[in-house]
Amino acid sequence: MEIYEFGDAAADSVLIQPVDARELAGMERESAAIRRKTGLAFRLAAVPVADWSRDLSPWRAEAVFRGEAFGGGAAETLADILTLCPDDGRQYIIGGYSLAGLFSLWAACCTDRFSAVAAASPSVWFPGFVDYLRDNPPRVRAVSLSLGDKEERTAHPVMRTVGERIRETQQLLRAQGIPCALEWNPGGHFKDPEGRTANAFACALEQLRCCGGSHAEDR
């Protein structure tokens, strides 16, 4: 598995982000933004994903846009990512943008290896996902969510549910006892993904720092 590393290789906090080829070009800027916002040492591991719809979808689903259906290959991707988390003395935070944000939430339901999730504009409209969360709580100490304030203002019948789903997700996680921050950003889905992802990771790090990495407090 190919990975790209940024930040401090010896840091105790390791951020793991599935990315596509376009996102890779902005990882240095994203890493610098996280550092500015938190002042914390961290290692950021960017994991390129070959087939976004196949490799990050937790189960098979019909195509929402023009193109291929969702292939349900997330389990294989998670198995690869877990090989990047061998050290019990470090805290691992998984996160990403769009479908990678959804994948990160799902991954945290499958393993207790992650301390927090940073899900920026996650695809929580994915069929059946909120119901899955209800029965399978994420096994983390904190979750950071975000969404653009125009993302739900669309004629697309599936995509326009994203605002309702993100609010439902926050309420559900809080009811499950998981501290969950939700940030609303200006603009639609494609505005400033690099900055939004940096904010989500920074928020997750701050939540964990609130109590020395042992328990995260809500913000």
Average pLDDT score over the chain? 93
The count of other CB atoms within 10 Å of the CB of residue 212 is 7
Return the pLDDT at 214: 40
Is pLDDT of 216 > 50?
A: no
For the residues 122-141, what does the mean pLDDT come to? 96
Is pLDDT of 66 > 90?
A: no
For the residues 3-19, what does the mean pLDDT come to? 97
Structure pTM? 0.93
Quote the tokens at residue 148. Answer: 């653009």
What is the percentage of the chain residues whose pLDDT exceeds 70? 95
Q: Are 210 and 43 in contact (CB under 8 A)?
A: no
Return the pLDDT at 62: 82
Q: How confident is the model at residue 211 (pLDDT cuts 50, 70, 90)?
A: low
Is pLDDT of 151 > 50?
A: yes
Is pLDDT of 213 > 90?
A: no
For the residues 194-207, what does the mean pLDDT come to? 97
Give DSSP secondary structure letters for the chain. ---EEEE-TT-SEEEEEEE-HHHHTTHHHHHHHHHHHH----EEEEEE-S-HHHHS-SSEE--SSSSPPEE--HHHHHHHHHTT---TTSEEEEEEETHHHHHHHHHHHH-S-EEEEEEES--TTSTTHHHHHHHS---SSEEEEEEETTTT-SS-TTGGGHHHHHHHHHHHHHHTT--EEEEEESS-TTS-HHHHHHHHHHHHHHHHHTTTTSSPPP-
The Cα–Cα gap between 26 and 22 comes to 8
**How many residues make up the chain in this entry?**
219
The Cα–Cα gap between 147 and 164 comes to 11
Q: Are 99 and 63 in contact (CB under 8 A)?
A: no
For the residues 2-24, what does the mean pLDDT come to? 96
Q: What is the pLDDT of residues 69-82, one digit of tens each?
A: 888 999 999 999 99
Is pLDDT of 170 > 60?
A: yes
Q: What is the pLDDT of residues 27-55, one digit of tens each?
A: 999 999 999 999 999 999 999 999 999 99
Is pLDDT of 217 > 70?
A: no
Return the pLDDT at 212: 59
